[in-house]
Amino acid sequence: MKPLFRLPITLLLVASFVSACAPQPAAPPAATQPTEAPKAAEATQPAEATAEPAAANPMDYLNAPREDTLIIDQPYKLETFDNWNPYTPGNAFGWGMSEIGMDDLMYLNYGDGKYIMWMAEAVESNDDATVWTLHLRKGITWNDGVPFTADDIVFTINMQIKNDKLSNHFYWAEWLDKVEKVDDYTVKYTLKKPNVRFSAERISGGVGVFPDIFVPKHIWETVEDPTTFKNYDPAKGLPLGTGAYILAKVTTNETILVRNDNWWGAKTGFAKLPEPKKVVFSYVGTEEVRTQTAIDNGFDSMQDITVGALQAILTQNPKWEAWFKDKPYAVPDPCARIISFNSLKQPWDDKDMRKMMSLVMDRQQIVDIAYEGSTTLAAYFWPAYSSMKPYSDLVDKETYESFLQPNLAAAEEILKAKGYVKGAKYWAKDGKDLAIEIQVPEDFIELIRVGDVYVEQLQKFGINASESKLGSVFYDNSANGNYEAQSNWFACGSVNEPWTTLNTFAGEAAPIGQRPKGPPIDNAFRWSNKQYTDLVAQIGVTKLDDPKLMELTKQALAILYDELPAIPSAQSRKIVPFNYTYWTGWPTSENYYIFPCNWCHLFTVAMTKITKAQK
C-alpha cells in the first residue's frame, strides 16, 4: 500500500497532515445551502471577522470556478479537523494554514542559500552571538485587521516558556534568557549562551527547524490552557493568521482556503496579491487514485509521488511537468539517506567492519534500481545542494571517490585480515556466519527499496543480510540503540552550513536501552569520538563567515569519513510535479526561486509567483 502511514517523512520538511475522520464540515453553521454550487456567501459568516473594508467578502470565493482555484494534493487523511492549535502534536495546521495562511519572518531559498526577507526587515546579532535583534516590516496586520507587532512575538515565546507541553518549550528553556519588545517593530532576544545559528534555527527556520508560528496575542491572552485550546471557530475567524488566505471550509478529506483581498503584503506593496481565489488541500486516497486524479486535472500540484506514478502522469497528461523535464525529475530532499550502524554492537564497533560494509555498497545500482534513476550519485551525509558545495568540497577527493563504486576486493581483504573465511555462501568466523539485520520503517517505501537493493548486494558478496520492516518501534529502537543497522536519514539537518548534520554524530554514546540525553539529543549511532565532538563544539560557535570554519569542518569530515558511524546510501529525492493547465510560473530547476514544497511554509513564496495560464 502506498504511504499508508508513513509517519515521519523527514524530520524536516513535511508539515503536518495527519489524517482524520471529520465528517462534520468546518463550514460555518449556517452552511446548509441545498445547491450543487453553493452560494456559500451567507452574509452572516465568519468573515465579518475581517472587519476591514473588504472589496468583497472573502467567502464569496468559495464559489470560485476551477480556473481560479488551486488544488493541492495531500497524501494523508485529515484526522483532527477541529484542532488548529499549532503547538500541539495532533493539529491540522499543515492543511493550509502553515503553508499559505501564515507568514514567516523570512524564507531560505536552498537554491542559492539566500534569505528572502518577509515579515522581518533585518536580523542582526552582537559580536559573541548572545544578543539578537529582529526588525519587523511595518504595516503587517492579522487578517482581522489588528496590527501584528513585537508584542505578538514576545507573547508567543513567553507562552511557550511557561508551558512545557508546547513543542518549542525546551528549545527556549535551553537557550533563551529573555525576549523583549524594544518598540512595536523591534524584538530583542537575549540568549543564555552564544548561538551563531540562532537566526537560522529560530528566526528563519532553515531546515531542521521550523520557525515559530506566531499566535495573535489579542486572542490567545484570554486562553486559559494553551495546550488544550483548539483554536478553531470559523465564525470568529479562528484560526487567525496573517497570510493571504483564510480558512473557509473543512470537509472530511479537504480544507478550503479563500483569498483575503486585504492581505497586508499586497496592501503595503511588498508582494503581489496571489492570483488563486480559492485553494483546496485535498486527500483523495492511495497513490493510484491520486495519480489518476492528477491525470484528470483534479490537482495542480502534487506532494511527493513515486517515479512510476510520475511517468504515468507525464505520458497521459502532457500539461504536467516535474522539477527536471527529464531524469532525474526529482528535486533533492534536504535529508540525505544513510545506513547507520550501532557502534556499540559487535562486530560493528570496529570501524574497519563499517568501512567494509561501505566498500560492498554499489551506490550507482541503488540510484538505478531503488530510485529508478530519480536521484543522482553522491556520497554525502547532507544534500548535494549548491549552498552546501563549499563544505562538500572539504571531503578529501580521493576518499570521496572511493565511495562512488564498490570495491569488493578491498572488502575481502578487510574480512580476511579480521579472520573471516569465506564458506559456501557466507563469510564466517569461529563457525558463525557474518550476518546483519537492517531495520527499515515499514511505511517508508523509498528506504525499504534502498534496503532491498543493499541486502542483495551484501548477500551476493557473502554476508547474510536481512531486512526487517518495523512500525513506530523503528524509532524507539533507534533512540534506545536496539539495532545493528538501520536505513534512515538521521544525519539530516544541514542545508547551508555544516554544523547541524555534523552535530548528529557528536556527543557521548548513550548505553543501549537508554534514550540519548539532550542536548545534543541525537547520536542515535552510539558512536563517540572525543576529538570529533570537540571539533563540532567549536564549529558550533564559529560564525559562517569565519575562515576558521572551513579548517575545522575539514578536520571533522576527515574523522567522519574515516570512522564511518554511518555510511551515505543515497541522495534523497522528492518528486513534486506541477500542472500547467490552469497555473504557470511554478518553480523548476530552471526557475529556482524557491524550493518546490507545497507542504512547507515556503509555499507562501510560490503563491505570489504563480500566474493564471493563458487559454
Partner 1 sequence: MAVLATNSNTQAAARRVNIWDTPWLNAKFVTGSSIIVLVLLFGLLGPLFWNTDLAFTASSPVNLPPMWDKGGSPEHPLGTESNGRDMLAQLVVGIPASLKVGLLAASIGMGIGILLGSLAGYLGGWTDHIIRTITDSVITIPSLMVLISIAAYVRMPDTTAMALILALFAWPGPTRLIRSQVLTLRERGFVRMALLSNVPALEIMLFEMVPNMLPWLAASLTGGISGAILGATGLEALGLGPTRVPSLGTIINYALNSSALVRGMVWWWLPPIITLVIIFTAFFLMTVGLDEIANPRLRGYGNGK
Partner 2 sequence: MGGLTRSYFIQRVLMFFLTIWIGVTLTFVIPRLSGSDPTTAMLLTMMNQRGYVENADKIIESYKTSFGLNDPLPIQYIRYLGHVVRFDYGFSFARFPTAAWDMVTPALPWTLILLSVAAVLSFLIGVTVGSLMGWRKTPRWLQSILPISLTFTSIPYFMFGILLISIIAFKLHWLPATGGYSRSVDPGWNLPFIKDVLLHAVLPLISIVLTSMGGWALGMRGLMIGVNNEDYFLLAQAKGLSPARVFFRYGIRNAILPALTAFALGIGSLIGGSILVEFIFAYPGTGYTLYRAIQEQDYTVIQTITNLIIIITAAGVLILDLLYPLIDPRITYKRNVAS
* Residues between 387 and 446 with contacts to partner 1, criterion CB under 8 A: 437, 442-443, 445
Q: Which stretch binds partner 2 (CB under 8 A): 223-231, 349-357, 371-379, 385-393?
A: 223-231
Closest by CA position to 564, among listed 318, 395, 315, 391: 395
* CB-CB contact of 95 with 597 (8 Å): no
Pairwise CA distance, residues 558 & 550, whole Å: 12
Which residue in 44, 228, 531, 611 binds partner 2 (CB under 8 A)?
A: 228
Which residue in 86, 113, 383, 481 binds partner 2 (CB under 8 A)?
A: 86
Residue with Cβ nearer partner 1 (456 or 563)? 456
Residue 235 per-residue DSSP state: G
Q: Which stretch binds partner 2 (CB under 8 A): 245-253, 317-325, 367-375, 409-417?
A: 245-253
Question: What binding mask, one character per residue, do residues 1-40 give for partner 1 by CB under 8 A, x or -?
Answer: xx-x------------------------------------
Pairwise CA distance, residues 5 & 384, whole Å: 28
Q: Is 7 an interacting residue with respect to partner 2 (CB under 8 A)?
A: yes
Q: Among partner 1, partner 2, none, what does residue 466 contact (CB within 5–8 Å per kind)?
A: partner 1
CB of 1 to partner 1, least distance (A): 5
CB of 435 to partner 1, least distance (A): 11
CB of 335 to partner 1, least distance (A): 20
Q: Which stretch binds partner 2 (CB under 8 A): 24-32, 267-275, 394-402, 426-434?
A: 24-32
- 3 state DSSP class of 339: strand
Pairwise CA distance, residues 294 & 586, whole Å: 16
**Grid cell of 71 as nine digits:** 488544488
- 520: preceding bond cis by omega (within 30 degrees): yes
Alpha helix (H) ranges present in 393-511? 397-401, 408-417, 445-461, 473-480, 499-503
Q: Is 201 an interacting residue with respect to partner 1 (CB under 8 A)?
A: no
| Apex 571 CA angle, 286 and 331, nearest 5 | 60
**Grid cell of 238 as nine digits:** 479562528
Q: Is 65 an interacting residue with respect to partner 2 (CB under 8 A)?
A: no
* CB-CB contact of 204 with 110 (8 Å): no
Instruction: Tell me the pairing of strands 611-612 and 464-470.
Output: unpaired
DSSP for 362-399 reads -HHHIIIIISTT-S-----SS---GGGHHHHTTS-HHH
Q: Is 459 an interacting residue with respect to partner 1 (CB under 8 A)?
A: yes
Residue 222 per-residue DSSP state: T
Q: Is 194 an interacting residue with respect to partner 2 (CB under 8 A)?
A: no
Q: Among partner 2, partner 1, none, what does residue 456 contact (CB within 5–8 Å per kind)?
A: partner 1
Which residue in 18, 235, 273, 369 binds partner 1 (CB under 8 A)?
A: 369
Residue with Cβ nearer partner 2 (215 or 411)? 215
Q: Is 185 an interacting residue with respect to partner 2 (CB under 8 A)?
A: no
* Residues between 282 and 321 with contacts to partner 1, criterion CB under 8 A: 286-288, 291-292, 295, 305-309, 311-312, 316
CB of 372 to partner 1, least distance (A): 6
Q: Is 45 an interacting residue with respect to partner 2 (CB under 8 A)?
A: no
Neighbours of 502 (CB within 10 A): 27
* Exposed e or buried b per residue across 360-385, where buried means at least 16 C-beta atoms within 10 angstroms of its C-beta: bbbbeebbeebbbebbeebbbbbbbb
Q: Is 297 an interacting residue with respect to partner 2 (CB under 8 A)?
A: no
Q: Is 267 an interacting residue with respect to partner 1 (CB under 8 A)?
A: no
CB of 7 to partner 1, least distance (A): 12
Q: Is 362 an interacting residue with respect to partner 2 (CB under 8 A)?
A: no
Neighbours of 58 (CB within 10 A): 26
Q: Which stretch binds partner 1 (CB under 8 A): 37-45, 83-91, 230-238, 462-470?
A: 462-470
CB of 283 to partner 2, least distance (A): 6
CB of 383 to partner 1, least distance (A): 24
Q: Is 588 an interacting residue with respect to partner 1 (CB under 8 A)?
A: no
E strand intervals along 237-336 = 245-250, 254-259, 278-282, 320-321
* CB-CB contact of 455 with 467 (8 Å): yes
Q: Is 501 an interacting residue with respect to partner 2 (CB under 8 A)?
A: no
Burial label for 500, CB within 10 Å (0-12, 13-18, 19+), is: buried
The site for partner 2, by CB under 8 A, has a size of: 95
Q: Is 431 an interacting residue with respect to partner 2 (CB under 8 A)?
A: no
Residue with Cβ nearer partner 1 (305 or 510)? 305
**Grid cell of 111 as nine digits:** 537554491
- 3 state DSSP class of 538: helix
Q: Is 575 an interacting residue with respect to partner 1 (CB under 8 A)?
A: no
Residue 159 per-residue DSSP state: H
Q: Is 473 an interacting residue with respect to partner 1 (CB under 8 A)?
A: yes
DSSP for 56-80 reads S-GGGGGG--GGGEEEEE-SS--B-
Q: Which stretch binds partner 1 (CB under 8 A): 50-58, 65-73, 351-359, 466-474?
A: 466-474
**Residues lying near partner 1 in the complex (CB under 8 A):** 1-2, 4, 286-288, 291-292, 295, 305-309, 311-312, 316, 365, 368-370, 372, 437, 442-443, 445, 448-449, 451-453, 455-457, 459, 466-471, 473
